[in-house]
C-alpha cells in the first residue's frame, strides 16, 4: 500500500443533500466560501454529481470475471489502474486534501446512503488501507492507513434538539451514533476527526437562527487550522494486542465507546 501525503493548504468538502435550496445547500455555499479564505478548496456534491453509491462489478476491473473476496478484488483493480473514472477522480481529490469536510443531514441516526456508498467505492484497499506493516506486524489501519496525516470536520444537521441526542438523550448521544464514521471509517484509514459541528433543530430554524448558525460555521472554519483533533488509540501501540479488544487492565469495567479515545482516563465517561 502506498501512503498518500496530503498537499498543504488543500481541502475537500463533500456535500450530501439533494436540494440546493435547503439549509444544507445554504451552509454548503457559505461554508465553502469561508473555507476558501484559508484553503485551496475542492468540492464534491454527491447528489449534484449523481454519484453512483453502489459498489458493483464495474469497480472490480478484471476481477469481475472471477471469484474472491470483494475488498481484495477492488484493491487489485486499484493497483492495476482499473477503477472507474468517477472513483479515481474522488480518490485524487481526497489524496490531495489535508482537511476533509463531510456535510450531511442526520437521517435515521446515520449518514445518507449515498455517503456510505462514497466510502464503499472510494476508500479502497491499496488506497485507503492495506497489508501489515512489516516492522510493527499490525495492519495499516486505525491511524496508519493510507490517508494518515489528514483531519476531518463533520458538519451535521439534525432535526432533534441538543437534549435528545445528548449524553442522556433518548436517541443516543451523537458522538456514539457517529462512532462508526469517526472511528470505523475515518480513523481506520488514518484521518483524525475534529469535534462534531452540529446544527440542532435544523428543520425548524427561522431566518435569524439560520444567520446565527451560518456565522457559527464561518467562525469555526476561520479558526480550524489551529483546532486540536480528537485522537483515538492507535492499533500500533499495543492496547489491543492479541485480542482486538481493549486490554482489561485499561479502564477496567468501562464499556462505553469513549474508552477508545487516546486521552480517556479513569474519571471520564
- Residues 2-19 pLDDT 10s: 578 888 999 999 999 999
DSSP letters, 47-102, are TTTT------GGGSGGGGGS-S-HHHHHHHHHHTT-S-HHHHHHHHHHHH-SEEEE
Q: Smallest Cα–Cα separation from 154: which of 188, 198, 205, 113? A: 198
Compute the average pLDDT of residues 234-254.
Answer: 89
Enumerate residues 6+ apart whose C-beta is below 8 A from 210: 23, 26
pLDDT of amino acid 133: 65
Q: What is the mean pLDDT of residues 108-119?
A: 97
Burial of 252 (0-12, 13-18, 19+ CB in 10 A): exposed
pLDDT for position 241? 83
Least confident of 69-73, 102-106, 239-243: 239-243
Q: Is the pLDDT of residue 131 over 80?
A: no
Confidence of residue 268 (pLDDT cuts 50, 70, 90): very low
Please answer whether residues 217 and 23 qualify as being in contact, where contact means their C-beta atoms are separated by less than 8 angstroms.
Answer: no
Cα–Cα distance measured from residue 252 to residue 202, given in angstroms and rounded to the nearest whole number: 39
| Domains defined along the chain, listed by start | 10-231 (3.40.50.360), 238-269 (no CATH)
| pLDDT tens, residue by residue, 19-46 | 999 999 999 999 999 999 999 999 999 9
List phi, psi (to 5°) of 223: -105, 10
Buried b (16+ CB within 10 A) or exposed e, 103-114: bbbbeeeebbeb
Distance CA(204)–CA(109), nearest Å, equals 18
Distance CA 65, CA 52 (A): 21
Percent over 90 (pLDDT), the chain:
75
Predicted pLDDT of residue 64: 87
* pTM of the predicted protein model: 0.93
Amino acid at each position: 500500500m502506498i501512503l498518500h501525503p496530503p498537499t498543504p493548504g488543500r481541502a475537500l468538502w463533500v456535500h450530501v443533500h439533494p436540494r440546493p435550496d435547503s439549509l444544507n445547500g445554504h451552509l454548503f455555499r457559505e461554508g465553502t466560501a469561508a473555507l476558501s479564505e484559508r484553503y485551496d478548496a475542492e468540492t464534491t456534491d454527491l447528489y449534484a454529481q449523481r454519484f453512483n453509491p453502489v459498489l458493483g462489478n464495474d469497480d472490480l476491473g478484471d476481477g469481475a470475471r472471477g471469484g474472491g473476496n470483494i475488498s481484495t478484488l477492488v484493491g487489485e483493480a486499484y493497483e492495476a489502474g482499473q477503477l472507474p473514472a468517477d472513483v479515481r477522480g474522488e480518490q485524487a481529490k481526497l489524496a490531495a486534501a489535508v482537511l476533509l469536510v463531510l456535510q450531511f443531514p442526520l437521517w435515521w441516526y446515520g449518514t445518507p446512503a449515498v455517503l456510505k456508498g462514497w466510502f464503499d467505492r472510494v476508500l479502497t484497499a491499496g488506497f485507503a488501507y492495506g497489508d501489515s506493516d512489516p516492522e510493527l506486524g499490525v495492519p495499516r489501519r486505525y491511524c496508519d492507513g493510507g490517508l494518515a496525516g489528514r483531519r476531518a470536520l463533520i458538519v451535521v444537521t439534525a432535526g432533534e434538539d441538543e437534549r435528545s441526542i445528548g449524553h442522556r438523550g433518548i436517541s443516543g448521544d451523537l458522538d456514539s451514533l457517529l462512532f462508526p464514521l469517526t472511528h470505523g471509517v475515518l480513523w481506520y484509514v488514518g484521518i483524525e476527526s475534529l469535534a462534531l459541528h452540529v446544527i440542532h433543530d435544523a428543520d425548524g430554524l427561522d431566518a435569524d437562527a439560520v444567520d446565527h448558525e451560518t456565522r457559527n460555521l464561518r467562525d469555526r472554519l476561520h479558526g480550524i487550522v489551529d483546532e486540536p483533533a480528537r485522537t483515538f488509540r492507535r492499533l500500533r501501540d499495543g492496547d489491543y494486542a492479541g485480542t482486538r479488544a481493549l486490554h482489561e487492565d485499561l479502564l477496567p469495567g468501562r464499556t462505553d465507546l469513549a474508552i477508545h479515545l487516546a486521552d480517556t482516563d479513569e474519571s471520564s465517561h
